[in-house]
Amino acid sequence: FLKSEKIRERMDAYDELKEEYNNCQRCPKLCKSRAQVVFGSGNKHAKILFIGEAPGANEDKQGIPFCGASGQVLNQLLESVGLSREDIFITNTILCRPEKNRNPEKEEIENCLGRLDKILEIMQPKVIVTIGNFATERIIKKKGITSIHGKVFPYKHAVVIPVIHPANFLYQGRNPQLFEQMKKDFEGIAEQVNKKTLIEL
């Protein structure tokens, strides 16, 4: 079985999944509040998967996860450890922007669960970074990001590292101490990444 065939199969599966969710109608409220489905962005071959919470206003407009203020903080954190958005793939716990950025509802998270599982299956990431409580709870069934951020959890053939959501940092008036803490967690991510293969073709 040729490797290139495997890649093609994987990318076909990705395209099919994206197509399937492009006009998703599972969540009535989200169908009304969203401008578009924000499926994901970055390197589809990356072995590092970041999972956020939900698209915000900018993301909803541009169709790209983490392209607003939180995204800028995320980019800085990645840069601080020599990573870029091209080294990772990034998606969210739910693909559609909730009205006024309210929290995703349980049912909405469940409706988007099969999609996230399929992304994991297709991409086979080695390092999974869950950003904030919603993604963390969804993946490793643990609550309390303030106490577990930066820790490394085994997950199938991968590891999961929960991190504090950049939005928290913004709410706290860009507290420099918090930023240092967040940078430390990203050093931990880079350490895990260096142990694994970044891109597997």
What gap in Å lies between CA 113 and CA 119, rounded to an integer? 10
Tell me the helices (H) and strands (E) count for the chain, helix number first.
10, 6
**Computed from CA positions of residues 77, 178, 51, 105, in that sequence, does the dihedral angle turn out positive or negative?**
negative
Asked if 55 is part of the footprint of ligand URA (rule: CB under 6 A), the reply reads: yes
Q: Among 54, 94, 123, 161, which residue sits at the site for ligand URA (rule: CB under 6 A)?
A: 54
Concatenated DSSP letters of 155-182: ETTEEEEEE--HHHHHHTT--HHHHHHH
Asked if 89 is part of the footprint of ligand URA (rule: CB under 6 A), the reply reads: no
Asked if 52 is part of the footprint of ligand URA (rule: CB under 6 A), the reply reads: yes
User: Taking a C-beta distance cutoff of 8 angstroms, is the pair 131, 166 a contact?
Assistant: yes
Q: CA angle at residue 61 from 57 to 63, to 5 degrees?
A: 110
Number of residues that bind ligand URA (CB under 6 A): 11
Asked if 104 is part of the footprint of ligand URA (rule: CB under 6 A), the reply reads: no
Asked if 185 is part of the footprint of ligand URA (rule: CB under 6 A), the reply reads: no
Question: Phi and psi at residue 5, in whole multiples of 5°?
Answer: -65, -40
Asked if 162 is part of the footprint of ligand URA (rule: CB under 6 A), the reply reads: no
DSSP state of 23: T
Rg (CA), the chain: 16
Stretch of residues binding ligand URA (CB under 6 A), selected from 27-35, 54-62, 121-129, 171-179 = 54-62
Q: Among 30, 53, 129, 164, which residue sits at the site for ligand URA (rule: CB under 6 A)?
A: 53
Restricted to residues 112-131, the positions that interact with ligand URA (CB under 6 A) are: none
Q: Among 40, 42, 56, 98, which residue sits at the site for ligand URA (rule: CB under 6 A)?
A: 56
Stretch of residues binding ligand URA (CB under 6 A), selected from 7-15, 48-56, 75-83, 120-128 = 48-56
Q: Identity (one letter) of the amino acid at 87?
A: D
Shortest distance in whole angstroms from residue 96 CB to ligand URA: 11
Asked if 40 is part of the footprint of ligand URA (rule: CB under 6 A), the reply reads: no
Q: Which CB, 42 or 65, lies closer to ligand URA?
A: 65
